[in-house]
Amino acid sequence: MKKYSVVATALLCALIGTGCDKVTPSFNMQHVVETSDYTNLADVAIIGSGPAGLSAALYVGRANKTPLVFEGIKPGGALTETTEVENWPGIPHVQGPDAIEGLKKQAQEFGAVFAPEQVTAIDVSSWPFVITTESGVTIHALAIIIATGASPVRLGVPGETQYWGKGVTTCAICDAPYHKDKEVLVVGGGDSAAEEAMQLARYARKVTVVVRKDHMRASARMKERMATYPNITTAYQSEVTAISGDGFKVTGATLYNNVTKESVELPVNGVFLAIGHIPNTDICKGNIALTPSGYIQMEGRTQLTNVPGVFAAGDVEDDRYRQAGTSSGHGISAGLDAVSFLESNGYTPEIGKQLQDRLYKPSVAKRAQLADIHSYPEFETFLEEHPGVVVVDFYTPFCPSCLHMLPAVQEIAAEFAGRADVVKVDTSQAQDIADQLKVFNVPVVMLYKNGQLVARFNKILSKQKLQELVLQFLY
Positions that interact with ligand NDP (CB under 6 A): 82, 85, 87, 155, 187-193, 195, 212-213, 217, 239, 274-277, 322-323
| Closest to ligand NDP by CB, 145 or 194 | 194
Strand duo 129-133 + 138-146: pairing: antiparallel
Nearer to ligand NDP, 2 or 217 (CB): 217
Q: How far is the CB of 189 from ligand NDP (least distance, A)?
A: 3
β-partners of residue 41 are 140, 359
Q: Which residue is nearest to ligand NDP (CB)?
A: 190
The active-site residue out of 171, 174, 284, 399 is: 399
CA distance 341 to 355: 17
Residue 178 phi, psi (nearest 5): -80, 0
Residue among 171, 174, 284, 402 flagged as catalytic: 402
- In the complex with ligand NDP, the residue whose CB is nearer, 61 or 97, is 97
Closest CA to 180 of 443, 431, 468, 426: 431
CA distance linking residue 467 with residue 473, whole number of Å: 10
Q: How far apart are CA 463 and CA 408, in angstroms?
A: 5
Query: Which residue type, as a one-letter code, is found at position 159?
Result: G
On the question of a cis peptide bond just before residue 92, with omega within 30 degrees of 0, the verdict is no
Please report how close the Cβ of residue 87 comes to ligand NDP at its closest, in angstroms.
Answer: 5
| C-alpha gyration radius of the chain | 24
Residue 187 CB, shortest distance to ligand NDP, in Å, is: 5
Looking at the Cβ atoms of 315 and 337, the one nearer to ligand NDP is 315
**Cβ closer to ligand NDP: 234 or 441?**
234
Q: What is residue 161's DSSP assignment? A: T
Report the nearest approach of ligand NDP to the CB of residue 276 (Å). Answer: 4
In the complex with ligand NDP, the residue whose CB is nearer, 191 or 337, is 191
Q: Is 13 a catalytic residue?
A: no
Alpha-carbon distance 412 to 83, whole Å?
30
Q: Kindly state the smallest distance separating residue 226's Cβ from ligand NDP, in Å.
A: 12
Cα 251 off chain centre by? 29
Strand order in the sheet with 452-457: 371-372, 420-426, 389-395, 444-449, 452-457
Whether 174 is catalytic is no
Tell me the closest approach of the beta carbon of residue 22 to ligand NDP, in angstroms: 37
Catalytic center residues? 399, 402
